Each structure stands twice: as C-alpha cells, then as structure tokens.
Amino acid sequence: MNFRTYRRALLLCFLLFLVHCAVFAAIPSAPSKDIYLADFAGMVEQEDRKQILDIGRELDRQYGAQIVVVTVDTLDGQDIESYANTLFRTWGIGNKEKNNGVLLLIAKEDRKFRIEVGYGLEGAITDGYAGSVLDSMKRDFKDEHYSAGIVGAYGKLTEKVYGEYGAPVPEGVTAAKERSEELEWWEMLLGIPIGLILIGLLFWCLWQMVKLILYAIVMLLNLLSSGKIDIPLDKYIGRVGGGIGGYIGGSGGYSGSSGGGSSGSSSGGSYGGGRSGGGGASGGW
C-alpha cells in the first residue's frame, strides 16, 4: 500500500468516525427514572404519562420486557431507522438475555415515527403489526391528539407482549389500547342525528310491513265472508287433530331413548441491556 492509498483510507476512517460521533451526539441521554417514557418533545399529557409508566413498570416487573416511548423534537437530518436502532442499542432497552424490548420513537417536527423491536419479540410484534399500530396513530396525530395516539399505541404493543408470554391482559392495558379509539364529543354529536334517522327508517319499514300484513288479512276475511273462497276447515282440522295425536303417541318412545343416551354421555428502574435487530416499522403523518 503506497502512501496516497494509506492516506485516503485513513481519511475515510476519520470521516466514518466523525459520522459515528455525530449520531451518538444526537442521541439523548437515557433517563435515570421513569424509564418507560422519555417525553423530550412534550407530547404526552400528565394523566396519560402516569398510565404509561404504570403499565410499563408492571410488564417489566413480571417478564423483564420493556416498552419505551421516546419523543424528540427533530432527528437533525438523520433517517429515523438508524436513529432508532442506535438509541435502542445505546440505552439497552429490554432484558439482555431475552432481548425483549420495544421502542416507540416519535420526531414531532419531522412528523415521523418508528417502532423498533428487540430480537426476542419479533415473532410477537411483526413488521406488519408494527405498521398497523402506526397507521392507527395517524388519525390522532393529524388532529394533533398526540397523547391519545401514543397511549393507544402503547396499549396495543403491551397487549402483544402479554400474549407472547401467554398471560392475561390487565384491564389497564385494555383501557390504554382503547384510548385512541375514543370518539371526540363533536363526533358523538354528529352520530346522534344519523343514528336517529336510521332508527326512524327501520321503524317506518316495519310499520309498512305490518300494514301490508293487516291489509292482506282483511282482504282474506272479506273474501271468506262473501263466499267467494270456500275453505273446508272441518277437513283440515280433522287432519291436524289426527296428526297431533299420532305425534304425541309416537313421541313417548323417543323420549325414553333420549334420556338413556344423555345419561351415558355426560361427564424497573433501569434498562437491561437488550438489543434490536432492526425489526419494526416506520411512518409519518
């Protein structure tokens, strides 16, 4: 290797080192407490913050799994995939042996978000499922209902992790999952007149059917009373009576055999050093 080639290789290594340092410089320091939510961009309301922290602590206590929400103002020009992966590995989200961490990263000013999944949970939270969670966040985020969208996504991700361990989902997780699905007051008011109209149409259709049936009965009675239709009722009544008697007589044997057959058949406080392999999904709003 001549001197010129050596100098170029050295320069390239130096540039890569600078890029590496720049990436790490942009990654915020890991929080020392409340590790399940690092809301640097101020997107989560206080009530939702408490709910996320409570759910995160309980999941971590039971299974060592850690789901962490991080909001930042901007990615400083970096792509969100590299940023999320670096942050995940730098902080060490999830258990070191199980690699059961999940990161929900949101860049407010860049209008981007990503779910980064640890190796151990890639079977439970697939790329497709992570994408569907982000899709469900879009409506809330477009309306600037950031807190509702975040806590709803947190609930959906937590539900999957409990399912991975075959455990029942706590009520608090279900409530969080449904948080982003709640309708606003104006949406409910808009739905009231629409619902009343649909109910009115249903009753109108039922009333028309009743009137039609009543009209048919009246017409039939008029025809019978005028003698234009002659129905031999005594003949049909005799047949019906005989049929009923035969049915009652034959049903006794059936009842006895049924009884015999039935009788015989009845009988945290810190991150755990987890790593991510790059699984997950990215999106924007």
pLDDT along the chain (285 residues), means of 10: 54 46 65 93 96 96 96 95 96 94 98 97 95 94 94 96 94 79 52 76 87 85 70 54 48 40 47 88 96
pLDDT of residue 150: 97
| Dihedral (CA of 24, 28, 31, 35) sign | negative
> Rounded to 5 degrees, what are φ and ψ at 110?
-80, -10
pLDDT of residue 74: 95
Alpha-carbon gap, residue 229 to 219, rounded angstroms: 11
Helix ranges, the chain (H): 3-26, 46-63, 80-91, 127-142, 146-164, 171-177, 185-226, 233-265
Alpha-carbon gap, residue 155 to 98, rounded angstroms: 21
pLDDT of residue 226: 74
Are the beta carbons of 107 and 69 closer than 8 angstroms?
no
Alpha-carbon gap, residue 4 to 14, rounded angstroms: 15
- The residues with which 37 forms a beta bridge, in sequence order, are 69
Name the 3-class secondary structure at 77: coil
Strands 101-107 and 37-39 come out as unpaired
pLDDT of residue 253: 43
* Strand blocks (E) in the chain: 37-39, 66-72, 101-107, 112-118, 276-284
Q: Which residue from 282, 276, 285, 279 is spatially nearest to 80, judged by alpha carbons?
A: 282
Beta-carbon contacts of 182 under 8 Å, excluding residues fewer than 6 positions away, are 148
Could you please state the CATH topology (level 3) that the domain comprising 21-182+273-284 is classified under. Answer: Diaminopimelate Epimerase; Chain A, domain 1 (3.10.310)
pLDDT of residue 82: 95
> Rounded to 5 degrees, what are φ and ψ at 178?
-85, -5
Are the beta carbons of 174 and 162 closer than 8 angstroms?
no
**178's tokens:** 């449904």
Q: Whole-model pTM?
A: 0.63
Q: Please calculate the CA angle 81-82-88 and round it to the nearest 5 degrees.
A: 90
Q: Which residue from 151, 121, 116, 117 is spatially nearest to 137, judged by alpha carbons?
A: 151
Residues, the chain: 285
pLDDT of residue 111: 97
